[in-house]
Homo-oligomer: A and B are copies of this chain.
């Protein structure tokens, strides 16, 4: 059996069953040492109360889900709020579901530039807050509507262009099919030591993202 000391409960997995308060209690009760909240649960509970209860329960935060969605008009402002929330709950990273194509657009290259430009715009704030921007490649079936970042190599290249304060979030659910998976994950793991790549890799660490 896997070491439960490596587990983090991503709140989306019990979205229908538990409030964030129940998630925190559940983690404590079952010996799960970390939690990965989604912003909907956080908003529902209230940021200050959530931060306090997580701290009081002795839980680590693996990451906040999610930022991104740069194809939407208010993306920059929303991502700025997400960075503040991540900092408030002590999340080391903000997991990015980067966004798809704007309505009616087929400009995939443009959408990818928009993601990179958007991350560049919020990056100084994230660096100042100590929140790593964790780019998450999503399965190509989501390319049009949720993430124009589809492969680990593509996300790694973008992360390296953006520089310090950007890492990856890798979820085997999204990247298992990739013919370059092993190479890309090994390269990412060597080059972005600041962020654990779990769910798709060996090595201890929390699992920063799930679907979304």
- Would you give the shortest CB distance from A199 to chain B, in whole angstroms? 16
Contact residues in B for A140 (Cβ distance below 8 Å): 139-141, 177-178
Tally of this chain's copies: 2
Contact: B108 with A143, CB < 8 Å? no
In which size bucket is the chain A interface? Answer: 10 to 19
Contact: B179 with A151, CB < 8 Å? yes
A173 at the interface (CB under 8 A from B): no
A 163-179 to B, binary, CB cutoff 8 A, 1 in contact else 0: 00000000000001111
A 139-155 to B, binary, CB cutoff 8 A, 1 in contact else 0: 11101100000110110
Contact residues in B for A139 (Cβ distance below 8 Å): 140-141
Contact residues in B for A150 (Cβ distance below 8 Å): 177-179
Contact: A143 with B112, CB < 8 Å? no
In the complex, A179 Cα to B112 Cα: how many Å?
9
